[in-house]
Amino acid sequence: MFYYSVKRILMLIPVLLGMTLIVFAIIHAIPGNPALTILGTKASPEAVRQLNQSLGLDNPWYVQYFSYLKDILTGDLGTSIQTHAPIASEIWPHLAATIELSFVAMIIAIVVGINAGIISAWKQNSVFDYTAMILALIGVSMPVFWLGLLEQWGFSIKLGWLPSIGRDDIRNGVDPITNLYLIDTLLQGRLDQFWMVIRHMILPSIALATIPTAIIARMTRSSMLEVLKSDYIRTAKAKGQRMVWIVYKYALKNAFIPILTVIGLQTGLLLGGAILTETIFGWPGVGLYIYNAIQYRDYPVIQSGILIIAFIFVMVNFIVDLLYGLIDPRIKYK
Amino acid sequence: MLKMSDPVLKVEGLKTSFFTDDGEVPAVGGIDFEVKEGEILGIVGESGCGKSVTSLSIMGLLPSPPGKIVGGHIYYQGEDISHAKESKMRKLRGNEIAMIFQEPMTSLNPVFTIGEQLEEAIKLHNQRLPKKEIENRSVELLKRVGLPRAKELLKEYPHELSGGMRQRVMIAIAMSCNPKVLIADEPTTALDVTIQAQILDLMIKLNKETNTAIIMITHDLGVVAQMCQRVVVMYAGKIVEEGPVKDIFNHPKHPYTEGLIQSIPDLHGKKERLYTIKGSVPKPGSITKGCLFAPRCEFVMDKCRVNTPELSGGEHKSRCFLHQEQGRKEVRT
Q: What is the pLDDT of residue A190?
A: 84
ipTM, interface predicted TM-score of the complex:
0.82
Whole-angstrom distance, CA of residue A183 vs CA of residue A3:
35
SS3 A13: helix
* Interchain contact, A235 vs B108, CB within 8 Å: yes
Instruction: Calculate mean pLDDT across residues A183-189.
Output: 84
- Region of poorest pLDDT, from A25-34, A69-78, A119-128, B246-255: A25-34
Whole-angstrom distance, CA of residue B99 vs CA of residue B85:
19
Contacts of A232 in chain B (CB under 8 A): 106-110
SS3 A150: helix
Residue boundaries of the structural domains of chain A? 2-73, 92-295
Whether B11 and B54 have beta carbons less than 8 Å apart is answered as: yes
How many other C-beta atoms can be found within 10 angstroms of the C-beta atom of residue B209?
Answer: 10
Whole-angstrom distance, CA of residue A88 vs CA of residue B115:
50
Residue boundaries of the structural domains of chain B? 7-96+177-250
- CATH code for the part of the protein at A92-295: 1.10.3720.10
- Is the pLDDT score of A56 beyond 90? no
Number of Cα atoms under 13 Å in the Cβ half of residue B88: 9
Q: What is the pLDDT of residue A62?
A: 87
* Interchain contact, B90 vs A230, CB within 8 Å: no
Q: What is the pLDDT of residue A37?
A: 72
Architecture of domain B7-96+177-250: 3-Layer(aba) Sandwich (3.40)
| Sheet containing strand B181-185, strands side by side | B97-100, B181-185, B213-218, B40-44, B230-235, B238-244, B317-318
Closest chain B residue to the Cα of A331, Cα to Cα: B111
Is there a cis peptide before residue B66, judged by omega within 30 degrees of 0? yes
Main-chain phi, psi angles of A285, to 5 degrees: -95, -175
- Is the pLDDT score of A26 beyond 80? yes
Whole-angstrom distance, CA of residue A28 vs CA of residue A135:
45
Whole-angstrom distance, CA of residue B98 vs CA of residue B171:
9
Pick from B107, B111, B124: CB nearest A327: B111
Q: Are strands B238-244 and B317-318 parallel, antiparallel or unpaired?
A: antiparallel
* Interchain contact, A230 vs B106, CB within 8 Å: yes
Name the more confident of B173 and B2: B173
Of all residues in chain A, what percent carry a pLDDT higher than 90? Answer: 30
| A interface with B, Cβ–Cβ below 8 Å | 230-232, 234-242, 250, 253-254, 327-330
DSSP letter at A42 equals T
Main-chain phi, psi angles of A68, to 5 degrees: -65, -45
* Interchain contact, B93 vs A240, CB within 8 Å: yes
Measure in Å the smallest separation between the Cα of B320 and chain A Cα atoms.
36
Instruction: Calculate mean pLDDT across residues A212-219.
Output: 95
Q: What is the pLDDT of residues A95-121, one digit of tens each?
A: 888 999 999 999 999 999 999 999 999
Residues 6 or more apart whose Cβ sits within 8 Å of residue A126: A120
Sign of the Cα torsion A269, A273, A277, A283 reads positive
| Sheet containing strand B67-76, strands side by side | B23-36, B7-20, B67-76, B79-80
Number of Cα atoms under 13 Å in the Cβ half of residue A134: 7
Main-chain phi, psi angles of B269, to 5 degrees: -70, 180
Question: Would you place residue A273 in the very low, low, confident or very high pLDDT band (cuts 50, 70, 90)?
Answer: low
Instruction: Calculate mean pLDDT across residues B148-158.
Output: 90
- Is the pLDDT score of A238 beyond 50? yes
Q: What is the pLDDT of residue B333?
A: 43
Contacts of A236 in chain B (CB under 8 A): 109
Rounded mean pLDDT of chain A? 87
Number of Cα atoms under 13 Å in the Cβ half of residue A47: 11
Instruction: Calculate mean pLDDT across residues B202-214.
Output: 88
